[in-house]
Amino acid sequence: MSYSLLLEQIVYTSFTQTGLKAVASTQLPVEIQQAFMEKIVQHYWNSHQPLEVGHQAVYLQQITPEHTLFGWLYNVGKDELNGQDIPYFICYYLAEPLLFYFQLEKIFTCLHKGPVALVERDTPNFSIESVVVKNIWDYKSARPGLIIPILMRAQSYIALKQGELLDLFVPFHQQENIFGTNAQTDDQEIENLTIYTRQLVKAVETGIVSLNEDINTIKAKVSQPYLDYKKKLQQYEQAFIAAKQEQQPLTEQSRNSLKNLQRVLQVRNDDIERIEASSHDVNVLSSSNKSIKLISMSYVDKKKTFLLTASIIAIVIILLGFFDEIAQKKHHAPVVNDFSRLKAVGKEE
């Protein structure tokens, strides 16, 4: 199931011409702007004790169950006029209740990836637009975000289910990956964190583990279900890629086979969405490999043709030389014989 994020945004920073100022998209309600200034800017930015230059943080706060603010805070450097640190808040506003886990997962993923775009501080035009994130796995961020730690994620899911309002603030120094999910890329890290958190929440809800237990105890109880589910995802992904390489677009029969495999493996719909979204790169690579193969075959064919032509030419040259030599021998032989006869006739006379 595809779930797009329709977001209003607000930016608070020191603009070159006007100084500190909040700029919001036109659809953002005034009361939400006020809540942003009071609950986020004034709460998390202290000009006397700011974040270090270059450091950052992420935040998520529910004003009510239907109104959620989340975003990023960056310290972008010193003001040239007064020498004070310059905050850069970029905040997204979601005007709908968080009823399902996957909605919160997508917000965490967005915070990890970073903001879709930035407003330049020296721009004279302060109008900004709404943001639509159609595919959370596919967009390229304008600036890196931060990881929401696994335990904080799990606590947030449980709090959400219990009807509590979320209030999170994660500075840069809380980025330790105590669970060691062994990711090689940001997308893999996001995937691993998401799956691990789900397994942890399931273990808490079924009474297998408590979030108050020792970290090593939690890892011992959650790691195996996490690895088992990862294997199922890899099995589905391999089947999907194989089907895409054979047929593009997929036939109805292939789609039905993949759906049956999904049911057997018990893989979630949002994980299927991520796999299918990320398969574009595989298709491009596959096409590139085919092109390279065709180019290589063409080169080999041309090389074979050249060698064959050169060989034929060489043989022709050799044969021509051979026939020329024979012709020369035949041409000189009668001359020698006639000269011998002349000598013989002369002697007789």
pLDDT in tens, the chain (349 residues): 456 789 999 999 998 878 899 999 999 999 999 999 999 999 999 877 777 787 899 999 999 999 999 999 999 888 877 778 899 999 999 999 988 778 899 999 999 999 999 988 887 666 788 999 888 877 889 999 999 989 999 999 999 989 999 999 999 875 555 556 565 687 888 888 889 999 999 999 999 999 888 888 998 999 999 999 999 999 999 999 999 888 888 899 999 999 999 999 999 988 888 888 776 544 443 444 443 333 334 444 544 555 566 566 666 556 656 545 554 544 444 433 433 332 333 444 3
pLDDT for the residue numbered 184:
64
pLDDT for the residue numbered 64:
95
Same domain assignment for residues 33 and 98: yes
Q: Encoding tokens for residue 185?
A: 């890329």
Same domain assignment for residues 214 and 268: yes
Same domain assignment for residues 97 and 184: no
Which of 131, 147, 175 is a domain's end point? Answer: 175
Same domain assignment for residues 120 and 108: yes
Which of 175, 196, 219 is a domain's end point? Answer: 175
3-state class (DSSP) for residue 198:
helix
Residue 24 lies in a domain: yes
Residue 34 lies in a domain: yes
Same domain assignment for residues 183 and 156: no
Same domain assignment for residues 32 and 162: yes
Residue 307 lies in a domain: no
pLDDT for the residue numbered 317:
58
Which stretch of DSSP H or E encloses residue 186?
Answer: helix 186-205
Domain count, the chain: 2
Residue 331 lies in a domain: no
Residue 158 lies in a domain: yes
- Given a contact cutoff of 8 angstroms between Cβ atoms, the answer to whether 128 and 23 are in contact is yes
Q: How far apart are CA 191 and CA 183, in angstroms?
A: 9
Q: Which domain holds residue 57?
A: 1-175
Residue 299 lies in a domain: no
Q: How far apart are CA 277 and CA 324, in angstroms?
A: 72
pLDDT for the residue numbered 156:
94
Q: Encoding tokens for residue 283?
A: 């298709």
pLDDT for the residue numbered 261:
94
Same domain assignment for residues 88 and 213: no
Residue 254 lies in a domain: yes
Same domain assignment for residues 249 and 148: no
Sign of CA pseudo-dihedral 121, 123, 127, 133: negative
φ/ψ (deg, to 5) at 102: -65, -25
Same domain assignment for residues 143 and 34: yes
Same domain assignment for residues 190 and 110: no
pLDDT for the residue numbered 63:
95
pLDDT for the residue numbered 341:
36
Q: How far apart are CA 348 and CA 218, in angstroms?
A: 128
CB burial readout 219-254, b (16+ within 10 A) else e: bebbeebbeebbebbeebbebbeebbeeeeebeeeb
Long-range Cβ contacts of 191-194 (<8 Å, 24+ apart): 191/274, 192/230, 193/108, 193/112, 193/147, 193/148, 193/150, 193/153, 194/105, 194/108, 194/109
Same domain assignment for residues 81 and 162: yes
Which of 240, 268, 290 is a domain's end point? Answer: 290
pLDDT for the residue numbered 32:
96
